Chains A and B, each alone.
Chain A
Amino acid sequence: MPTFLRLLNLLFIFVLCGVLLGGYWYQFAKHQEPCPLCLLQRLGMIGVATSLLMNHRFGIKIEHYGLAILSALLGRLVSLRQIGLHICPAFPKFGDPIFGYDLYVWAFIVFTCSVLACAILLIIQGFTKPRNYPPSWGFFEKCAYGLVLFITFSNVITTLRDCGLSACT
C-alpha cells in the first residue's frame, strides 16, 4: 500500500476516533447523556472507521470505501433528521453548542467531510499504479484497531447502562 494513501486512511480513522472521544468527554464532563439519534450518529462514525480499517487489514479496495460512504450517508441522514427536529425556534435545543454549533450540526459536517474524503481517496487511488495494494498491519494500524475496538466496547457499556436492552426511546 503506498505510504501516502496509508497515512491518509490512518489519519481519517484517528480523526473519527477523536470526534468519538470528544463526544465521550461531552457526555461525562458536561453530564449530557446522548439521545437515541446521537447513538445512531456514533454508530455511523464507528461504521466509517471500521470500513477504513478493512483497507489496512485486507488491502485498499473500492468496496471498503463504498461501505464507508454508506455508513457516512446513514449518519448524515440521522444528523439531518435531528437538525430538522431542532430547527423550529419553539423546540428546545439539545445540549450546549460548541463553537456556536450544536453537536448534531457538527456530526453532519463530519459525515459530509467523510463522504468528501472517501471521494478524494478514491480519486487518488484511481490515479495511482499499481491498483492492487497489499495489506499493511503495522504498529499504528494496530493502535487504530485497538482504539476503535475500545470506543465501540465502551459504547456498549454506556448504552447498556443508559438504555438497557431497549431501543432507547
Chain B
Amino acid sequence: MMAALFIFYIVALLLIGRKWKNSAFTLIVINLIFCTLMLIYHTTDLLTRS
C-alpha cells in the first residue's frame, strides 16, 4: 500500500510529461488525501515501529 502511493506519483509525473495538467493535479490531490489517511493509520497504530 505504501508503494502504491509512490506509484501514484509516478503516474502523476508521466501525466505531467504528457501535458495532462488537470489529471496530474487531481491525482496529486488524491495522493495527498491517501497520504493523510496513511498518517492517521500509523498514528493510531500503537505498534508502529518508528
Contacts and interface: CB of A to CB of B under 8 A. Distances in A.
Interface residues of B, number: 33
B10 A152 contact: yes
A70 B13 contact: no
Interface in B1-24: 1-3, 5-7, 9-10, 12-14, 16-17, 19, 21, 24
A74 B3 contact: no
Contacts of B41: 167
Nearest to B42: A36
Contact of A82 (B2, B45, B50): B50
Contacts of B9: 43, 46-47, 50, 152
Interface residues of A, number: 42
B23 to A, nearest CB: 12
Given A54-B25, A145-B13, 11 more contacts: A43-B6, A46-B6, A50-B28, A57-B19, A58-B19, A81-B39, A81-B42, A85-B50, A145-B17, A159-B6, A167-B1
Interface of B: 1-3, 5-7, 9-10, 12-14, 16-17, 19, 21, 24-25, 28-29, 31-32, 35-36, 38-39, 41-43, 45, 47-50
